[in-house]
Amino acid sequence: MELSSQMKKYRTEAGLSQDALAEKIFVSRQTISNWETGDSLR
């Protein structure tokens, strides 16, 4: 399983939106989205 799909799996299992997770770890929602789609992991 790729890191991007693991991130999304655990985020949704924790019941967090991208916005909520971003706020908790001090990044933007767009950063979370990029991580989950693999856009910034190349």
Residue 33 lies in a domain: yes
Q: Which two tokens stand for residue 2?
A: 């790729």
Residue 42 lies in a domain: no
Structurally, the chain folds into a number of domains equal to: 1
pLDDT at 38: 85
Give residue-wise pLDDT tens across range 5-31.
Answer: 999 999 999 999 999 999 999 999 999
Residue 28: give the domain boundaries. Answer: 3-37
Instruction: Give the predicted TM-score (pTM) of the model.
Output: 0.83
Q: Which two tokens stand for residue 33?
A: 């989205």
Could you tell me which of 24, 26, 19 has the C-alpha nearest to residue 36?
Answer: 19
